[in-house]
Amino acid sequence: PNAWTNIFEVFLMLVIPFSLPRTFGWMVGNHKQGYTILGVMGTLFAGSLALISWFEMRGAGAATQLAGAALEGKELAFGVLGSTLFGTTSTSTSTGAVNMMHDSMTPQGGLMAMINMMLGEISPGGVGTGLYGLLILAVITVFIAGLLVGRTPEYLGKKIGPLQMKLASLYVLVTPTLVLAGTALSFALPWARESVTGTSILNTGPHGLSEVLYAFTSAANNNGSAFAGLTGNTPWLNASLGVVMILGRFIPIVLALALAGSLSAQTRVPSTSGTLPTTSPLYAGMLMSVAILVSALTYFPALTLGPLAEGMH
């Protein structure tokens, strides 16, 4: 292993998910639609990579700053930037591979790794799952834009009505519900809390909560990476994480297929002067804002108690 093989692995992880927006544009007969989705994916990925690299290069205390970076848990053959590139790629897709110990990242760096998954792994996400996750957010975006201008929202010539919004809303709510409920039950149920605090978590306090929150985030989003300080081989975590994996994989797929079916049954309506262009930079910015706000408003309280609280120590 060296820096070049590391970059080549990153390329292999990204090449298919980043190619699918072009396939989408070809399938709908409008390449600009695909390029817009690709631009949103790429911007979110680049922003996350910049932040996580800055946090890890900056360090989180006098010792790490004197060392030049937070080097604990990192392979020196890759360096900090090679590690953060791989970590961003892994958590932004459904890969789960690691070339550094995520548990040793700075609190803010670990926060960004979690946010990559909490976004729904849409930057660019897994093979197929990232694309349809972002397309569902695109449906929500045109609905919000339609409300702002007092017009029935449309996407790709299909009207977005109550049925489509119910399915899209359920899709957005499933994974956060699994993540937050699983984390909460791990500390709320007395026998589960005894197992988690007595056996599973390596660190007490906010970082211990981050370990559990990361585990359920990774399981629900089918990522596979972990804060390795957590011992997951206990009856509670084996059972709860297994249930979260099953539900987090299949319920969103069912809802995505139901939404696609409801749209395919409609007759395409022609675009008019009042139709929101879904290939403009304005729309791309709105789509990114919706993706970030949905995650921020849903997960922010839990992140406040975990990595954000740890970073303030």
Residue 39's alpha-carbon distances to 50, 65, 91, 228, in angstroms, are: 16, 34, 19, 33
At residue 164, the pLDDT reads 96
Confidence of residue 61 (pLDDT cuts 50, 70, 90): low
Q: Alpha-carbon torsion 45, 48, 53, 56, what sign?
A: negative
Residue 60, pLDDT > 70, answer no
Tens-digit pLDDT profile for residues 196-222: 999 999 888 899 999 999 999 999 999
Tens-digit pLDDT profile for residues 123-180: 999 998 999 999 999 999 999 988 887 777 899 999 999 999 999 999 999 999 999 9
Q: Alpha-carbon torsion 130, 180, 220, 300, what sign?
A: positive
Instruction: Please give the Cα distance from 88 to 6 (Å, whole number).
Output: 13
Closest CA to 23 of 123, 122, 132, 136: 132
Backbone angles phi, psi at 14, to 5 degrees: -95, -20
Instruction: Please give the Cα distance from 133 to 206 (Å, whole number).
Output: 30
Q: What is the pTM of this model?
A: 0.94
CB 252 within 8 A of CB 171: yes
Residue type, 205: G
Instruction: Please give the Cα distance from 241 to 211 (Å, whole number).
Output: 13
At residue 66, the pLDDT reads 65
Tens-digit pLDDT profile for residues 229-286: 899 999 999 999 999 999 999 999 999 999 999 999 999 988 877 788 899 999 999 9
Residue 145's alpha-carbon distances to 177, 217, 238, 282, in angstroms, are: 26, 30, 43, 11
| 158 SS3 class | strand
- Helix axes 129-149 and 281-303, enclosed angle (nearest 10): 110
